[in-house]
């Protein structure tokens, strides 16, 4: 992997985090005790969580393709575990669940790592979708059969299939961009996460009109427009780390930001349906793994296939 362009980008990200940490520390000292203190504490917890996550991403990037593949495989495993805890799975589904966790998940990432495109693109949506109900049916438990199987099928798609498209970016063969595909992963993660943060910031500054108050009360039209527009501009300004032109990078960033927003909205709908605030609490200040991956989940496969269709040879 060529890190000549990636290193300045990572240094920039760490610089932004350092500035955010400094601002958080100053605010914490100035505010003192009061109603605003909890907001500042939550902000600092989020900044600390970002330090940890960016450090892990940085280490994975330095390791290259194996590191990125393993990192997202681990994320998929934990995200799948979080999703399954909210399903109606019963004891009769244990064989099906074991197959998803210990056969399907590792096989999907091995296929992605070895670049068996013709197999990993159909493994889960075709073969796994057909085999899972068979395995469950063999146990003879008919109660809520359709719901149980459909929930696990959706869990496999969301937490394994969609997420695996992030390391799949490393297999693309783009003329003039050899050994630099890791920067596509960085571009995707930076744009989609920046869009989330900027939508929150613009929503706090100008937000008035709720988009979907029953799903995500904090999301506003003003925050959505401001956040997506800002993330699109950011993505365009990062064209130099991609094989895209300025305008192409902006268009790709717009698509990423939109799909990330839709992903967050859909995953919020699932949480509200199950009566939970977060998917988990493993990441202090950020909830669970799915809470951090929800935007990436919808953006990654679209970004991968658009890039593959137009730039891969």
168, two tokens = 């799949």
CA distance 263 to 217: 16
CA-wise closest residue to 67 among 79, 52, 55: 55
Locate all alpha helices (DSSP H) within the chain, ordered by sequence.
6-31, 35-63, 65-84, 94-99, 105-113, 117-120, 129-137, 145-156, 165-168, 182-206, 221-237, 246-274, 289-311
- Give the angle 310-312-313 at the CA atoms, nearest 5°: 115
Residue 240, C-beta contacts closer than 8 angstroms, at least 6 positions apart:
5
- Percent of the chain whose pLDDT exceeds 90: 57
Q: What is the average per-residue pLDDT within 90-104?
A: 93
CA distance 284 to 297: 21
**How do residues 99-118 score in pLDDT, each as one tens digit?**
999 999 999 999 999 999 99
Band (37; pLDDT cuts 50, 70, 90)? low
268, two tokens = 């919020």
Q: How far is CA 4 from CA 35, 235, 241, in A?
A: 46, 19, 10
Residue 30, C-beta contacts closer than 8 angstroms, at least 6 positions apart:
none
Band (6; pLDDT cuts 50, 70, 90)? confident
Q: What was the pLDDT predicted at 148?
A: 92
Q: What was the pLDDT predicted at 22?
A: 85
Tell me the whole-structure pTM to 2 decimals: 0.90
Q: What is the average per-residue pLDDT within 169-191?
A: 93
Q: What is the average per-residue pLDDT within 220-224?
A: 93
CA distance 249 to 15: 23
Residue 153, C-beta contacts closer than 8 angstroms, at least 6 positions apart:
128, 129, 132
Q: What was the pLDDT predicted at 35?
A: 54
* Residue 193 pLDDT greater than 60, yes or no: yes
CA distance 215 to 67: 35
Is residue 122 within a helix (H) or strand (E), and if so which, with residue range? Answer: none
**Span of 53-57, 132-136, 139-143, 278-282 with lowest mean pLDDT:** 278-282
Q: What was the pLDDT predicted at 33?
A: 59
């Amino acid at each position: 992997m060529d890190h000549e362009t990636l290193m300045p980008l990572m240094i920039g990200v760490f610089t932004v985090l350092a500035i955010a940490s400094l601002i958080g520390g100053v605010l914490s000292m100035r505010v003192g005790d009061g109603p605003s203190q909890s907001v500042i504490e939550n902000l600092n917890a989020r900044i600390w969580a970002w330090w940890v996550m960016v450090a892990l991403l940085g280490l994975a990037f330095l390791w290259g393709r194996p590191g990125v593949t393993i990192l997202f495989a681990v994320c998929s495993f934990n995200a799948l575990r979080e999703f399954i805890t909210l399903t109606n799975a019963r004891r009769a589904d244990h064989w099906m669940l074991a197959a998803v966790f210990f056969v399907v998940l590792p096989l999907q990432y091995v296929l992605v790592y070895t670049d068996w495109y013709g197999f990993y693109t159909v493994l889960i949506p075709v073969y796994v979708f057909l085999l899972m109900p068979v395995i469950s049916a063999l146990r003879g438990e008919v109660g809520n059969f359709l719901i149980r199987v459909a929930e696990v099928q959706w869990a496999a798609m969301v937490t394994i299939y969609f997420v695996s498209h992030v390391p799949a970016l490393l297999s693309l063969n783009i003329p003039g961009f050899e050994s630099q595909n890791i920067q596509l992963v960085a571009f995707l993660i930076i744009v989609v996460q920046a869009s989330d943060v900027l939508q929150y910031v613009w929503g706090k500054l100008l937000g008035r009109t709720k988009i979907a108050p029953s799903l995500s009360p904090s999301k506003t039209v003003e925050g959505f427009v401001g956040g997506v527009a800002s993330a699109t501009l950011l993505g365009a300004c990062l064209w130099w780390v991609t094989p895209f032109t300025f305008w192409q990078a902006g268009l790709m960033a717009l698509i990423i930001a939109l799909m990330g927003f839709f992903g967050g909205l859909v995953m919020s709908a699932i949480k509200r349906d199950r009566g939970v605030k977060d998917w988990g609490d493993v990441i202090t200040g950020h909830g669970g793994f799915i809470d951090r991956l929800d935007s990436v989940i919808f953006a990654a496969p679209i970004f991968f296939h658009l890039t593959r269709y137009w730039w891969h040879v």
